Amino acid sequence: MADGFQQKRLAVDSNILFDLAEGRRFAEDFRKTFIEKGYSLETPPTVVLELTNFFKKGDARERELARIALSSMLTKWKISPISLSSVQRAYTQNFVKFVQGDKILPPRENNDAEILAETSLAGIPVLVTSDRALLDADPVGLALAFEKAGLAPVAPAHPARLTRAVRK
């Protein structure tokens, strides 16, 4: 029997962290609104790797945004990294194969598939993103890929849309 307690968690991707680093209002409104409502904001391991790669190998703008995001994530923005086991990482790769095989995301978006799988494995039902590839992905195709991989589905959602939904 359920005890009525539901943990309120959302995952955020690299795009949201870059939006926050750029000072985009919609991203900051989202962050403040959901933290005030008691949500935990978390980021999958692949997001941290992406930011690290941008910091090391990006152009000057990407390096600076990645630096801001990496240094602000925990302390200023209250966004925690998700930790996964090696067994969970194997499930991630299975999901990526299904997404690639079914061509649900563009071929260059392998990290996006990993991020979705990591979010699912963390038990988080929504990935907050401003990435068009994720937002435009076929929801039925994604649901089937999650089903094939034995993972709970994750819905990509734009932060402005989520913010509007909770303010109604």
pLDDT one digit per residue (tens) for the chain, 168 residues: 344 556 899 999 999 999 999 999 999 999 999 999 999 999 999 999 999 999 999 999 999 999 999 999 999 999 999 999 888 887 888 899 999 999 999 888 879 999 999 999 999 999 999 999 999 999 999 999 999 999 999 999 999 999 999 887
Q: Of 56, 45, 58, which Cα lies nearest the Cα of 14?
A: 45
In the chain the domains, ranked by start, together with CATH numbers, are 9-164 (3.40.50.1010)
Q: Are 130 and 27 in contact (CB under 8 A)?
A: yes
pLDDT of residue 61: 97
pLDDT given at position 90: 79
The type of residue at 106 is: P
Instruction: For the chain, list the strands marked E by DSSP.
Output: 9-12, 40-43, 79-81, 126-128, 155-157
Measured between alpha carbons, how far is residue 9 from residues 42, 50, 66, 122 in Å?
7, 21, 23, 10
pLDDT score at 3: 45
CB-based burial label for 89 (10 Å; 0-12, 13-18, 19+):
middle
Residue type, 56: K
